[in-house]
Amino acid sequence: MAEANPRPVLSIRDLVTEIGGLPVVDGVSLDVMPGEVVALVGESGSGKSLSALSVMRLLPGAARVAAGQVLLDGDDLLTKSERDMRGIRGRRMSMIFQEPIASLNPLLPVGVQVAESLVVHGEAAGADASRRAVEMLEHVGIPQPERRARQLPAELSGGMCQRVMIASALISDPRLLIADEPTTALDVTIQAQILRLMKQLREERGTAILIITHDMGVVADIADRVCVMYGGRVVETALVDDLFERPSHPYTRLLLSTIPRMTAERKHELKVIEGTVPDLASWPTGCRFRTRCPLADEGCAERPPLMPVSDGHMSACWHMDRLERIA
């Protein structure tokens, strides 16, 4: 029987990650429940990937977590030693990185790489590990898995390499899967297959999934809830249907307006958000979107907190009542 009130698999609380003393992730909080897909969305430079790397404790050398908590089943990962983390990564939580070809060892057969987590964590070895790797390759939809297991990454397509990465991430049956832009550079057909596979794994295994993307079409297809990031902060969070039907932050509204519409005229000009995400050292005070926001005024120099819009829907904007002015 399912728990009446299950606790989050992942709970991030007031996370601050700095580069050179500047907060690139600034007070981020979010939860991912068992069997739930939460999408972390925003433009490049919003802090999405660094939030994920902070959770995994895999930050680049210049970055460090300065404050907050990252709880995996209630266990604070930020208090763990690197040795402890090596026992957690791949076993209790796994990550699929943006570039599957770059993430795979070009000199090792993919079956060996899929089995690596089992060997490292002492769950299997030798022929047993190889057999389970082949079974997992088959489970993620790779044809002729025994043959593919013997091949090098360069002998596989981009879509197959992405499936190999998913197989590697899931072979130890982790509680949490983080997927960083899992469909980038894949054609539309393969994108759909990868998303369908992730849904299937969530339903069959109850895996909690945090997916990082800038693609709102991917969000609509797979997510249960959405956290929108801008300038290192979460500016809106809601159930996916509520977010698409009633975006309550100017940035979210503008993001959604950039999605191509099938009903639009063929020569209809695609919308863009004016300007770019400011450089880390140039983020404005107050609302960080105010330098690009059509609703901004002097009041936006004060930082807006996340405020309730409706049940489960929060937005950090002083001007939610004026959003209809944004076309």
The pLDDT of residue 1 is: 40
- Answer yes or no: do 208 and 145 share one domain: no
Residue 5 lies in a domain: no
| Mean pLDDT, 10 residues at a time, the chain of 327 residues | 73 96 95 96 92 96 96 96 94 87 90 92 90 91 94 91 89 92 78 84 89 90 96 97 96 85 57 80 92 94 96 95 83
Domain enclosing residue 126, as ranges: 101-173
Q: Can you tell me the distance from the alpha carbon of 314 to that of 242, in angstroms, rounded to the nearest whole number?
A: 11
- Answer yes or no: do 168 and 21 share one domain: no
- Answer yes or no: do 129 and 61 share one domain: no
The pLDDT of residue 261 is: 60
- Answer yes or no: do 144 and 285 share one domain: no
> What pTM was computed for the model?
0.90
- Answer yes or no: do 220 and 230 share one domain: yes
Taking alpha carbons only, the member of 315, 307, 325 closest to residue 289 is 315
- Answer yes or no: do 160 and 53 share one domain: no
Residue 87 maps to which CATH number? 3.40.50.300
Last residue of a domain, one of 148, 173, 198: 173
The pLDDT of residue 3 is: 54
Residue 3 lies in a domain: no
- Answer yes or no: do 165 and 187 share one domain: no
- Answer yes or no: do 51 and 186 share one domain: yes
Give residue-wise pLDDT tens across range 27-54: 999 999 999 999 999 988 899 999 999 9
Residue 2 lies in a domain: no
67, two tokens: 């404050």
Last residue of a domain, one of 145, 173, 201: 173
- Answer yes or no: do 59 and 130 share one domain: no
CA atoms within 13 A on the CB side of 97: 12
User: How many structural domains are present in the chain?
Assistant: 2
Rg over alpha carbons for the chain, rounded to the nearest Å, is 21
Length of the chain: 327
- Answer yes or no: do 206 and 276 share one domain: yes
